[in-house]
Structure 1
Amino acid sequence: MILIAGPCVIESKEQIFKIAKYLKPYSEKYNFYFKASFDKANRTSLASFRGPGIDKGLEILNEVKEKFGYKLLTDVHETWQVKKAAEVVDVLQIPAFLCRQTDLLVEAAKTDKIVNIKKGQFMNPEDMKYSVLKVLETRGCREANYENSKKYGVWLTERGTTFGYGNLVVDMRSLVIMKNFAPVVFDATHSVQMPGGAGGKSSGKREYVAPLAKAAAAVGVDGFFFETHYNPDEALSDGPNMITPQELQNILKDIDCINKCKEN
């Protein structure tokens, strides 16, 4: 099972290493990727914390790789960031708001890294096939299906769909639909986000992370994405929808149980 975990954004080297240490047990049990963003370019307000930037951020992530041996995942927002990030990380993540950006997808596809495309909050899951194809065709493959995407390193991540103003819902059918095109990861923490719900920044309801994750496990996905922080209420980005390492441990126990039942 793919497991992506880590904080929303790099706040400091101390913060990153503290969270990375908490997550060590999972790197030995799952196909684990440590996630953190060097820049959050789509914050609601200009005053919101964005991160240390690409150079300092990648330097810190590289130190995490050297110390813990983790595979790494980070976001890229612009084409010029792709080559730099690919020198350090193992997965290039295309943010949900940019999932149709052809130049960004093609530039990521030109690397030898896995490309994780987050489904836009505004997207029909059926149409994510065409985002996948932009990567596959750049890599020499002309048919978007699960096996081809697995072979050529393309993932899709579900993170909820806009439902009115300031709210997201998860249509579990999207997990089944998108699995026709690529391995699917369920982003349980962003799926409980409430965009713009805290007056100039996003809010969220982390009490729904566990139920949604268990529902996704029952439907059947290839992996899970959990933004994790030792003190979510003091986090500088996405605090209301992040979970603690202890909460992550409890959720993963339930997911493992569901997966074991399905195998039997």
Structure 2
Amino acid sequence: MKNISVGNIQVDNSMFTLIAGPCVIESEEQVMNSAKRMKDITGKLGIPFIFKSSFDKANRTSVNSFRGPGLHEGLRILKKVKNELDVPVVTDIHEPYQAGFAAEVVDMLQIPAFLCRQTDLLIAAAQTGLPVNIKKAQFLSARDMKNVVTKVLESGNDNILLTERGNTFGYNNLVVDMTNLIEMKKYGYPVVFDATHSVQKPGGNLTSTGGNREYVEPLAKAALAVGADVLFMEVHEDPDNAMSDGPNMVKLDDVEVMLQKFIKVFKGVRDVEQHSYSI
């Protein structure tokens, strides 16, 4: 697997990396508090940490849904997180022109799942030279991601991460096929499991997205067991009152215990892989 540098951390096989933060920037205070708590927790546990939050949620279910502070104000807040807390930051972009602005602040760009086949967006992200985390669309297989990877590679960038976030299964439901993680690892880049978006019920609440956050922990354990290199989780102080994706976000108070379990799974599986045991 190619090791990827994201800011001051290395995404490698020594420990799973965590990408986490609130779904959308609700306020500067909220983002700073969330980032500080996550840095403290991951620092204590020895988990490499990248902070994520969105300046704009351009694909909300309803036109009346909260979208975020916008490009420039959102990037100002993310820059404060990066500079004051000394943690790498990532955000998603939705249009090619946003790539250059975001690249002046963040350490990695993220391509939303619905947009992962948008050639101009991929090229713009690749040409910044930053690592690009590409989320596999809900309607694609791991095999389909080969063409997506090629678009970024042919734009001169091989700092790629690939994210599994579930596939559409009927109406308002997703299912996770763990073999997608195994197949995407064959491309030679770190593979991310998005544990919170994978438990969404898109449009399940009619004017907003539903979800089942109780499935986050077991699915994340399964993903680590089959070889995920990175976990992606959206976290919030009060998910039930969050402005976006509340039903599938993890409560900040629950994060530390959950991560302790994930470390045991990660180390246990790799210990089995590295040693042979007699039964």
Q: TM-score, normalised by structure 1?
A: 0.94
Amino acid in the other structure paired with 2:132:
V
- Whether 1:20 and 2:35 are equivalent positions in the alignment is yes
Q: How does 1:1-264 map to 2 (within 5 A)?
A: 1-28=16-43, 29-139=46-156, 152-181=158-187, 182-264=189-271
CA drift at 1:246: 2.8
**After superposition, what is the alpha-carbon deviation per residue over 1:89-147, rounded to whole angstroms, capped at 9, x for unaligned?**
0110000000000000011110121100000001111010110111111117xxxxxxx
SS at match of 2:143: helix
Give the distance between the partners of 2:42 and 2:215, measured in 1 at CA. Answer: 25
Name the CA distance, whole Å, in 1 between partners of 2:86 and 2:32. 12
Please list every run of 5 or more consecutive structure 2 residues that lacks an aligned counterpart in the other structure. Answer: 1-15, 272-279
Give the match for residue 143 of structure 1.
none
> 1:252 aligns to what SS in structure 2?
helix
The letter for the 1-side match of 2:200 is Q
Q: Provide the C-alpha distance between the structure 1 equivalents of 2:202 and 2:52, rounded to a whole number of angstroms.
A: 21
Output the amino acid matched with 2:216. V
Percent sequence identity over aligned pairs: 57
Q: Which runs of 4+ in 1 moved over 4 A?
A: none
Contact 1:26–1:32, Cα closer than 8 Å, also in 2 = no
- Which runs of no fewer than 5 residues in structure 1 stay unpaired? 141-151
CA distance in 2, matches of 1:2, 1:137: 27
Name the aligned partner's letter for residue 211 of structure 1. Answer: P
Asked if 1 retains the 8 angstrom alpha-carbon contact of 2:39 and 2:49, the reply is no
Q: Supply the distance in 2 between the matched residues of 1:173 and 1:193 (Cα, whole angstroms).
A: 19
Measure, in 2, the Cα distance between the counterparts of 1:114 and 1:98: 17
Contact 1:93 1:116 in 2 (8 A): yes
1:1-33: CA deviations, max 9, x gaps?
Answer: 221000000001111111112101245322211
When normalised by structure 2's length, the TM-score is 0.89
Residue 194 of structure 1 aligns with an amino acid whose one-letter code is: K
Residues 143-183 of structure 1 deviation map (CA, whole Å, 9 limit, x = unaligned): xxxxxxxxx21000011100000000100100001111121
| Matched-pair contact (CA < 8 Å) for 1:39–1:54 | yes
CA 1:159 to 1:138, structure 2 compared with 1: closer, same or farther past 3 Å? same
Return the letter of the residue paired with 1:96.
Answer: A
Aligned positions, number: 253
**CA distance in structure 1 between the aligned counterparts of 2:60 and 2:33, rounded to whole angstroms:** 24
Counterpart of 2:10?
A: none
Give yes or no for contact 1:71–1:90 (8 Å, CA) kept in 2: yes
- Say whether the 8 Å CA contact 1:102–1:134 is kept in structure 2: yes
Distance (whole Å) between structure 1 residues aligned to residue 48 and residue 154 of structure 2:
26
Hey, what's the Cα distance between the residues in 2 that align with 1:96 and 1:158? 9
Instruction: Give, in angstroms, the shift of residue 251 of structure 1.
Output: 1.9
